[in-house]
Amino acid sequence: MSDFLLGNDLPINRLGFGTMRLVNEGAWGEPTDREQMRNLLRRAVALGINFIDTADAYGPFIAEDIIAEALHPYPSNLVIATKGGITRQGPAKAAPCGRAPYLHQCIEMSLRRLRLERIDLYQLHRIDPETPLEESLGKLAELQQQGKIRHIGLSEVTVDQIKQASRIVPIVSVQNKYSIAERKHEAVLEYCEQHNIAFIPWYPLAANRLSGNEALTDFARDRSMTLSQLMLAWLLQKSPVMVPIPGTSSIAHLEENVAAQSLQLTAEDANALEQLDTAPAS
């Protein structure tokens, strides 16, 4: 596995594991089989994954609990990233809340659920347009100084927002929606490369909505890859700061994804892939 040095001091394998699928649809409610989700996490670690991304909003709260149930006491090299700063109103329903007292509570509760004394990477889940960024990130900086957070990241932001945030506190990661099918954040990726900021694409497999795309499926098959492997191999070769976090509830799919790290695309293949029509099949 290839590594990235998060915050210049935490080596992580560049293929991580996202945990939204540990809970029910719409990131809401208990999984059908909680023990299966614990086994899935244990298998991910056994396969060499040492970067796990979660959020208090997954469940809400359930994914963090399952991570601790499955993996605590944690391996010394395991990096757990979590997020806070949104509230849940139901399945796939959320709203940002960046007020300092709320974020303080989010962090304290994540520490408790994850059974940690310090969160290695805490990410502001969304910037709250109703709260000054100085208030939100100022609280994270305060808790960082207290030793409760090691590094701070952002999610779903523009280059200007990263610059604004970086004037308040060092930013080591950005988590934006990005895949072969959705590349509107190229400028953000370029900025992250220039400043050695981890770019963590969420929905790196486009939420499986491309499974019926014949052009992509044929392209993958001709290179002895599954569609998921093709998309992950492309991401991993796209940039040295790219840290995909594909999620799944299936051990077989997890193993398929991990195998993508050993697959290579030629420069010609990568260019050809980027020219394909990546619209979902109608």
CATH number of the domain within which 61 lies: 3.20.20.100
Is 58 tagged catalytic? yes
Range of the domain at 42: 3-210+232-250
Whether 222 is in a domain gets the answer no
- Regions of the chain with pLDDT less than 70: 1, 281-282
Whether 220 is in a domain gets the answer no
Whether 191 is in a domain gets the answer yes
Q: How many domains does the chain have?
A: 1
**pLDDT at position 157, please?**
98
Whether 277 is in a domain gets the answer no
Distances 221 to 18, 215, 231 between C-alpha atoms, Å: 26, 10, 12
Whether 131 is in a domain gets the answer yes
Selected catalytic residue, list 58, 102, 178, 191: 58
**pLDDT at position 2, please?**
78
pTM higher than 0.95:
yes
Whether 113 is in a domain gets the answer yes
Q: Over the stretch 172-190, which tens digit does the pLDDT of each residue have?
A: 999 999 999 999 999 999 9
**pLDDT at position 1, please?**
55
Whether 182 is in a domain gets the answer yes
Q: Six-digit token pair at 240?
A: 């040295």
Whether 179 is in a domain gets the answer yes
Tell me how far apart the terminal alpha carbons of the chain are, to the nearest angstrom: 36
